[in-house]
Amino acid sequence: MPARKHKSTRRWSMYPSLHSQVAALLGESDLYFRFHSKDDDFALQTYDTNIMGRFSCPNDECGSTGWSSKKIARCQECKRLSQPILDDSYAERVAYRLKKWSGIKMEVPVYGGDSNGPHIRSLCEGCKAGHCSEGRWY
């Protein structure tokens, strides 16, 4: 019997439910942006950053209980692409970048937390896409 194919998981995502948090932080500096639901390759500016939070495996048959990380990665047990639950830093980091691009002088924020384990390049989606600073060979 052939192996059952699982539904493909999108390799990117937007978080419109968090736009109001970003907008509130921008409003503190009298900045107002309209968020677009369409993500395309025609951005005026881009910036690579990490997705930080808790990650879970979408595979119901997998024994993984999830993990915390500062980088999106595949599940160590079944290799499926994880689903992030973003931490509170998401809105702060997006607002910080938009403020900098708008010419507002900002101190570089520090986001705490140490890595709980080694960086596994074969599971790191940033490494695969050439965006991970830990995956670059200098």
pLDDT per residue over 61-72, tens digit each?
Answer: 999 999 888 888
State pLDDT tens for residues 76-104: 999 999 998 888 788 999 999 999 999 99
Q: In what order do the strands lie in the sheet with 67-69?
A: 67-69, 53-56, 83-86
Q: Quick one: pLDDT at residue 41?
A: 74
Query: What local confidence, expressed as pLDDT, does residue 99 receive?
Result: 96
The β-bridge partners of 68 are 54
Measured in Å, how far apart are the chain's first and last C-alpha atoms?
A: 46
pLDDT at 138: 43
Q: Average per-residue pLDDT in the chain?
A: 83
pLDDT at position 6 is 52
Instruction: Return the percent helix, strand and coil in the chain, to nearest 5.
Output: 20, 10, 65
Do 29 and 105 meet the contact criterion of CB atoms below 8 Å apart? no
Angle CA 7–14–65, to nearest 5 = 55
The two beta strands, 83-86 and 67-69, are unpaired
| Residue 63: C-alpha distances to residues 33, 99, 125 (Å) | 42, 42, 21
Residue 71: the pLDDT is 86
Q: Is 115 a residue whose pLDDT tops 70?
A: no
